[in-house]
Amino acid sequence: MVNPPDPASSSPSHHLLANLRQDLMRYAPFGQMAVHDVDYFLGHAAQQYYAPGELVLAPQHGPVVELLFIRQGAVTGERSGTLGAFQYDAGDLFPVGAAMASRAVTATYKATADSFILALPRESMLELATRSPAFSDFLNDRIQRFLALSRQALQATYASQALAQQSLEKRLGDIATKVPVTCLPTTSLREALTIMMQRRIGSIIVVDSAGALLGILTRYDILGRVTLPGVPLDCPIREVMVSPVLSLTDDHTAQDAAMLMSANGIRHVPVTRSGQVIGVVSERDLFAIQRLSLKQISTALRTAADVGRLRTLASDIRRFAHSLLAQGVQARQLTNLISHLNDVLAERLVTLMAQRHGIALQGICWLALGSEGRGEQTIATDQDNALILDDAISASAQAAMPAFALAVNAALDECGYPLCKGGIMASEPACCMTLSQWRQRFRDWIEHGAPEDLLNASIFFDFRPVAGNAALAQALRDDVTSAACSVPRFLQQLALNALTHTVPLSWVGGIASDKDGQVDLKLQGTAVFVDAARIFALSRGTPHTGTRERIQAAGTAMGLAPSEYEAWIGGFEFIQMLRLRVQLSADTAPERPNHVRVADLNDIDRRILKESFRVGRAMQQRLQLDYAR
């Protein structure tokens, strides 16, 4: 290592300082820091040069004394016994964790090109962290900070297309700021209705003397509960109020309220804190998305009279997703909302076709599999579904199932959800069975399944009820959850299958794209996280189907540090968001809806994509150590 004559010395010239500052502020976190804080970094850092192949840092060097920033070039880190190397490029800071903890690095770092590196003494790093909140936040939670910066950039990109002003991520405690109008259960209807009229409000909350929620009466309830039954106005409100009441806490989000309204056909949600009502959120409080709101779309879906109407509404789901991107809604919430609306559409189709074919819904359960079963559907998605039949179903009813299921699958295809190329659809005999048959099939997979069988069967383990008798699905889920964790061979084979999908990182740790400069964000990205999370959940008897929930539950059960499994979640959700952006782009090739051209990504997204791939590889390493040896 040598110091060339162009260092960032402790007192650089004004011209050099300006050039260096401009160079640094292209990268996070410097672009978010005050100018004087960037100058502090430059004033206390020294530039070092490393030739290709030259050692930069190694475990034998002892506790890290400098934080390194790559101005130019690249550095590769290698750990013995891992799944591969990792690479830092221009704009990267490293080794953040070792510098913060004042410990030795666990990898060996070498330059892979002519590299100019700014070295900031650890003491100066700590001082700068006290001066600059942006610098401190970045050091303490790098991947989450990258995600935040990426979301900011994404929101700015879509801001001009925004149809709404209020984020679905906002806490209900920040929305329900008006003091709620309440009354006691003994209050007469006359008095309660007079208050509602005078205050021009759509609902009144009924509470006990301690302020705990007892019930609600809305203007939409009055016709059916008061006027038509002829209830006298002197009657106490407790006789006609809606109780129990669906409510949320102040820590829930606007998205939670929207989902609750959509799922239950209500327009008002009381908000509580420590058991006491602090406000009410109404439908009109949540959305200003012109004619596209979650409640409006879901209501239209539930009342659609035919497939033609549902086909039109399916296109509204895509437009709604585009609007939510403009609000800065995160991947988890966005895919959850898309899946919810797809559920509503599928449920309506199942209901319409059941009526047409004379099928009693109480005797069947329509299942969503794969991404919809996990609540993680993106825009470009085919259909994966199945049917559970009650064991007591009559022979004639069972004989009618193939035609009924085929009609549903065909209608979904007409609405823009292509038929599954692998034939995983309820219209196929292998996907339409009685509860006992399903139990036996899962038992065979778990106890005797060959690797190739499990490779094709993995998405079945993500099943979730969409329409019909949900108790059938719950009975099957209970069986699968208890059985899967008791067969080590089954988990090992799932792990070996999962490890066949690898993240696209080169031997030096850079993003390895195909001949067209693209990577597959599904097969090479999200699938890595989905497969690993499924195995971790099944091995610990976790009933969740969502990847985020599986990782959280398994990470806690495995005794992992929250920072480790939260990094897994962060990497997965970033790649999910990138997939959605690609699918909503007008330039995306229909035949490659999950492929992104790496060169088209901005600097932040390119860096966090590589970071997410590294996190995915670390997750696979854990999987390999636990199950595949």
Q: What interhelical angle do 35-44 and 14-24 show, nearest 10?
A: 110
- Taking CA atoms, 564 is separated from 177, 560, 567, in Å, by 36, 7, 5
pLDDT confidence of residue 5:
39
- Report the pLDDT value the prediction gives residue 619, as an integer from 0 to 100: 92
Q: Which two tokens stand for residue 530?
A: 């989905």
Rounded CA Rg of the chain: 28
Domains of the chain: 14-140 (2.60.120.10), 172-286 (3.10.580.10), 330-477 (3.30.460.10), 495-627 (1.20.120)
Helix and strand counts by DSSP (H, E) for the chain: 24, 20
pLDDT band at 166 (very low <50, low <70, confident <90, very high): very low
358 Rama sector, left if φ>0, alpha if ψ -120 to 50, beta otherwise: left
- For 46-98, the DSSP string reads EEEEE-TT-EEE-GGG-S--EEEEEEESEEEEE-TTSS--EEEETT-EE-HHH
pLDDT band at 168 (very low <50, low <70, confident <90, very high): low
231: amino acid identity, one letter: V
Per-residue confidence band for 365, with pLDDT thresholds at 50, 70 and 90: very high
Q: How confident is the model at residue 485 (pLDDT cuts 50, 70, 90)?
A: confident
Q: Count of residues for the chain?
A: 629
How would residue 595 be classed by pLDDT, with cut points 50, 70 and 90?
A: very high
| Mean pLDDT of all residues in 337-350 | 91
Give pLDDT, residue 162: 38
Residue 130 has pLDDT above 80, yes or no: yes
pLDDT per residue over 455-480, tens digit each?
Answer: 888 889 999 999 999 999 999 999 99
User: In percent, how much of the chain has pLDDT > 90?
Assistant: 51
Convert the pLDDT of each residue in 293-336 to its tens digit: 677 788 889 999 889 889 888 888 877 877 776 666 777 778 88
Element (H, E) at 282: strand 276-282
Span 221-236, mean pLDDT?
93
Phi-psi region of 398 (alpha: psi -120 to 50; beta: other; left: phi over 0): alpha
Within 10 Å of residue 219's Cβ, how many Cβ atoms?
15
Half-sphere exposure of 208 (CA within 13 A, CB side): 7
Structure tokens at 549: 């929930």
Contact 271/248 with Cβ under 8 angstroms?
Answer: yes
- Tokens for 191? 């008095």
* Separation between Cα atoms, residue 588 and residue 472, nearest integer Å: 40
Neighbours of 569 (CB within 10 A): 23
